[in-house]
Amino acid sequence: MRKPPMETTTTKAETRPRARKLDGARVAAEIKREVAEEVARLSERHGVAPRLVTVLVGEDPASAVYIRNKVRTCGELGIISEHHQLEDSAESARLVEMVESFNAREDVDGILVQLPLPRGFDESAVIEAIDPDKDVDGFTPVNVGRMMLRRPALLPCTPAGIIEMLAREGVEMRGAHAVVVGRSNIVGRPVAELLLQRDATVTICHSRTRDLASVTREADILVAAVGRAGFVRGEHVKPGATVVDVGMNRLTDESEVRGLFGDDAERRLNTLRERGQTLVGDVHPAEVSRVAGLLTPVPGGVGQLTIAMLMRNTLKAARLRRGL
């Protein structure tokens, strides 16, 4: 007598369709089109072309790539870019002097010093030296204070870009429970504040949070900004939640890539073999895509929004400085 076939069971996560892409790249392209149109109008009506000055200290390859992307995007949108390089053997005082010279120039609308700075530089002193009205990164204490008080400000680019993406992709923030994993001054804290300003109920988690998964599973919107590849797993995510992956981590080990991407690893492995590395986020893509409702890809998600919002801040600074 033949035995009946064994029954198989599947979990809820396995039977759910994969998460839809939260399309940061599309939103970034939309923002850049709007900026290009505004820049053209500003030039036509007022004879003004916004100018962004970028400063790179040292020869860090990743920082150099970021600067090249920013300079290229300026050219595409009609913004004048001016790049300055400083040796990592220079002193903080020399960088501060350079920043102050840009503050004094009427033709400079935005100043961006690429972070992180090499060891030995006083990052806080450099940031505080930037004229708040030209602080297109939104990092100076004045702009942070303005943001916290809900006054007009140049907002930090990545957090502001996340809010723009959620709004334009139709994600309801009002009344939602948003959980931010990470408390950095660059992303975690400001994105929590901006979500709060959109009437979300916000929880900030960090390395000392007890039973992290029990907190993150309550999130309608989960923002991962911890800087650890694949840190947020399927167990951390509420079914159907919107997950924003802010992480940008470089992997060079094939076994790690296979562990994160499972059956979808081949394309990433090809990138790793061609370039010696592949970019991944703070979210475990294979696990979280089976639980979340919406998920940002890495790359192609938040990173492109950051540059788009930098361009918008540069335009905004140019207009505000001239009372337009």
Residue range 47-149, CATH number: 3.40.50.10860
How confident is residue 165, by pLDDT bands cut at 50, 70 and 90? Answer: very high
Mean pLDDT of the chain: 92
The pTM (predicted TM-score) of the whole model is 0.91
C-alpha angle with apex 279: 277 to 281, nearest 5 degrees? 145
Give the pLDDT score at 16.
57
Query: What is the per-residue pLDDT across 7-44, written as a single tens digit (0 to 9) for each?
Result: 333 444 445 568 899 999 999 999 999 999 999 999 99
Give the pLDDT score at 10.
40
- Return the number of other C-beta atoms located less than 10 Å from residue 180's C-beta: 31
CA-nearest of 157, 158, 134, 138 to 146 is 138
The arithmetic mean of pLDDT across residues 105-127, rounded, is 95
CA-nearest of 129, 141, 86, 78 to 104 is 129
Going by CATH, does the domain composed of 156-305 fall within 3.40.50.720? yes
Query: What is the per-residue pLDDT across 183-239, written as a single tens digit (0 to 9) for each?
Result: 999 999 999 999 999 999 999 999 899 999 999 999 999 999 999 999 999 999 999
Residue 5 has pLDDT above 70, yes or no: no
Give the pLDDT score at 128.
97
Give the pLDDT score at 62.
84
Same fold across 47-149 and 156-305: yes
Give the pLDDT score at 12.
44
Give the pLDDT score at 9.
37
Residues 6+ apart with CB under 8 A from 226: 181, 182, 232, 247, 282
Preceding peptide of 299 cis, ω within 30°: yes
Distance separating alpha carbons of residues 255 and 289, to the nearest angstrom: 20
Query: What is the per-residue pLDDT across 306-318, written as a single tens digit (0 to 9) for each?
Result: 999 999 999 999 9
The arithmetic mean of pLDDT across residues 162-176, rounded, is 97
Domain boundaries of the chain, sorted by first residue: 47-149, 156-305
Task: Answer yes or no: 316 catalytic.
Answer: no
SS (H, E, C) 219-242: CCEEEECCCCCCCECHHHCCCCCE
Order of strands across the sheet with 20-21?
Answer: 20-21, 294-295, 242-245, 221-224, 177-181, 201-205
> From the candidates 23, 32, 70, 245, which is the catalytic residue?
70
Give the pLDDT score at 192.
98
Query: What is the per-residue pLDDT across 44-69, written as a single tens digit (0 to 9) for each?
Result: 999 999 999 999 999 888 889 899 99
The arithmetic mean of pLDDT across residues 156-181, rounded, is 98
CA-nearest of 184, 81, 170, 172 to 139 is 184
The arithmetic mean of pLDDT across residues 278-300, rounded, is 94
Residue 132 has pLDDT above 90, yes or no: yes
Task: Tell which wins on pLDDT, 324 or 194.
Answer: 194
> From the candidates 23, 131, 135, 137, which is the catalytic residue?
137
Distance separating alpha carbons of residues 239 and 218, to the nearest angstrom: 10
Task: Answer yes or no: 134 catalytic.
Answer: no
Give the pLDDT score at 207.
87
- Return the number of other C-beta atoms located less than 10 Å from residue 201's C-beta: 15
Task: Answer yes or no: 137 catalytic.
Answer: yes
Distance separating alpha carbons of residues 68 and 316, to the nearest angstrom: 22
> From the candidates 23, 32, 109, 114, which is the catalytic residue?
114
Query: What is the per-residue pLDDT across 243-282, written as a single tens digit (0 to 9) for each?
Result: 999 999 998 888 998 899 988 888 888 888 988 889 899 9
